Amino acid sequence: MNQNPDIEKKRKPVYGWILHLHPRKVRESTLRFSLTFGLGGMAAVLVVLQVITGLLLKFHYEPSPENAYNSILNLQDSLLFGRMLRNIHHWSALFLLWTAFLHMLRVLFTGAYRKPRQANWIFGLALILLVVLSNFTGYLLPWDQLSYWAVTISTSLLAYIPLAGNFIREALLGGKDVGQATLTNFYNLHTGIIPVLMVAIMGYHFWRVRRAGGVITAEKDRESPMVDTQPHLVNREFVVAIVLLAIIFLISSLFDAPLRERANPSFSPNPAKAPWYFMGLQELLIHFHPMFAIVVFPVTVMTAACWLPYIKLSDANQGIWFLSANGIKSAKFSLIAGALFTVLFIGLSELLPDPELLLPSVPSIVTKGLVPFLILIVTLYFFLGFIRKKFSLNRAEFIQSVVIIMIASYAVLTLTGIFFRGEGMNLVWPWQV
């Protein structure tokens, strides 16, 4: 702690703005890296990096189907550090998606979504949605074969939403197909509306962390001493930020952001795949009726995610990774079971006869929707009952296990879609994709 007032005065201008984000003192126990892994801070650094590199890209990029692709080629080949700039924007977008996702898992697995942090969980959900949307809208901008067809496939999924599906799709595309209006819409969303919303929500998100009295700590650590934010927290944050930036710059100097041939609306690649983060949904669509794959599953998951922080939980294990020893055991078991069950499900759905062909007179929303959905729910019900008993789980540990099963399942669907689907979206080995 620094007691010299002159030095304190000199420090003020440098650290003043940082201290707007932080209180003057923080609890020593919250400084432990393994509590948060600095993931929220890393996500914040990455958003700033995206805004800076994005604004610089805007000087060179032309948002029209005729010129977009050429402007990227020009940027890469003729502008000093142009390729590096594009690479940094590309790789840090990927890092941001992963960092925000891992930060969300950190919050989940330390039980930090509960009162008084419920609102921050909900605003966090809005943030991750914006991160996905900025990745998705940015995807189209290079206007190459990969981006054109990935956006065509992903937006065609929207048409399955009952009643409003086509309206939403056409409003986003600005017409029936991906074209100039789509590029204009995506460009405006990507470089205007989404970043503005994101930065505004982030400001509120940080303020809520302060209002909750800092990040969560385990009960036993709540009486740990208070220490000065500067240097104790600020110095650690700088180290994390610098290491993160160094890794991104290194990757960007070694690996180029992908760019295929110019978009050709009359030639669709086979298979045409959505961006990787939507591949789980595209895979689900192979097994379920679109109404279930695109509407019932995602809406159920999103509703459950919003409801999560309001469920009454009595245990006091917040601030502890995976809540308890039982929580850890059940988490491991759920992870393996969720993954194996999904692999089995994909295998069976490949080997068993197609219910639509078997019972052509029954509507496919029943044979490929309601029936498999109910089978899934009943299986899950019995399985969850089994692990609840096996590990004597309380409600918080139980919810954690459900979340882990869902994540494991979506991960297997995504990996299958990316690595095991070839021509005609048939199952193949990864080297045949």
Is residue 241 involved in binding ligand HEM (CB under 6 A)?
no
Does 365 bind ligand HEM (CB under 6 A)? Our answer is: no
Question: How many helices (H) and strands (E) are present in the chain, helices listed first?
Answer: 19, 2
Burial string for 187-201 (b: 16+ CB within 10 Å, else e) reads bebbbeebbebbeee
Binding of ligand HEM by 169 (CB under 6 A): no
Q: Which of 243, 405, 215, 244 is nearest to 319 (CA)?
A: 215
> With contact defined as beta carbons under 8 Å apart, do 26 and 227 qualify?
yes
Shortest gap between Cβ of 381 and ligand HEM (angstroms)?
26
Q: Distance between CA atoms of 301 and 292, rounded to whole angstroms?
A: 12
Cα 43 from chain centroid (whole Å) = 11
Structure-token match 């308890």, residue found = 324
Kindly tell me which residue out of 22, 169, 173, 195 binds ligand HEM, with binding defined by CB under 6 A: 195
Q: What is the DSSP string of 184-231?
A: HHHHHIIIIIHHHHHHHHHHHHHHHHHHTTSS---GGGTTPPEEEHHH
Stretch 75-114 residues interacting with ligand HEM (CB under 6 A): 86, 89-90, 93, 96, 100, 103-104, 107, 112-113
Position 11, amino acid: R
Q: Which stretch binds ligand HEM (CB under 6 A): 45-53, 150-158, 170-178, 232-240?
A: 45-53
Q: By CB under 6 A, what part of segment 108-167 binds ligand HEM?
A: 112-113, 117, 120-121, 124-125, 127-128, 131, 134-135, 138-139, 141-142
Shortest CB 116 distance to ligand HEM, Å: 9
Residue with tokens 């330390």: 110
Whichever of 72 and 291 has its CB closer to ligand HEM, that residue is 72
Query: 72 or 387: whose CB is closer to ligand HEM?
Result: 72
Binder to ligand HEM among 39, 158, 183, 337 (CB under 6 A)?
39
CB-wise, 128 or 296, nearer to ligand HEM? 128
Residues 6+ apart with CB under 8 A from 15: 230, 234
Task: Please identify which residue in 22, 27, 29, 40 interacts with ligand HEM, judged by CB under 6 A.
Answer: 40
Measured from the CB atom, is 51 or 402 closer to ligand HEM? 51
215/413 with CB nearer ligand HEM: 215
Q: Does 216 bind ligand HEM (CB under 6 A)?
A: yes
Cα separation, 17 vs 432, whole angstroms: 54
Using CB under 6 A as the binding rule, whether residue 36 contacts ligand HEM is answered as yes
Question: Which distant-in-sequence residues (6+ apart) come within 8 Å of 406 by Cβ?
Answer: 301, 338
State the minimum distance, in angstroms, from the CB of residue 114 to ligand HEM: 9
Work out whether 55 is an interface residue with ligand HEM (CB under 6 A). yes
Stretch that binds ligand HEM, among 1-9, 187-195, 261-269, 409-417 (CB under 6 A): 187-195
Distance of CA 144 to the CA centre of its chain: 24
C-alpha to C-alpha distance for 395 and 417, rounded to whole angstroms: 33
Please name the residue that has the structure tokens 């850890």: 328
Identify which range of 210-218, 327-335, 385-393, 411-419 contacts ligand HEM by CB under 6 A.
Answer: 210-218
Which residues sit opposite 27 in a β-bridge? 226
Q: Is 47 in the site for ligand HEM (CB under 6 A)?
A: yes
Q: Is the CB of residue 135 less than 8 Å from the CB of residue 276?
A: no
Q: Which of 325, 401, 408, 396 is nearest to 113 (CA)?
A: 396
Interacting residues with ligand HEM between 308 and 347 (CB under 6 A): none
Lookup result for tokens 């002159």 = 6
Nearer to ligand HEM, 99 or 342 (CB): 99
* Binding footprint of ligand HEM on the chain (CB under 6 A): 36, 39-41, 43-44, 47, 50-51, 54-55, 57-58, 61, 72, 86, 89-90, 93, 96, 100, 103-104, 107, 112-113, 117, 120-121, 124-125, 127-128, 131, 134-135, 138-139, 141-142, 190-191, 195, 198, 202, 205, 209, 212, 215-216, 257
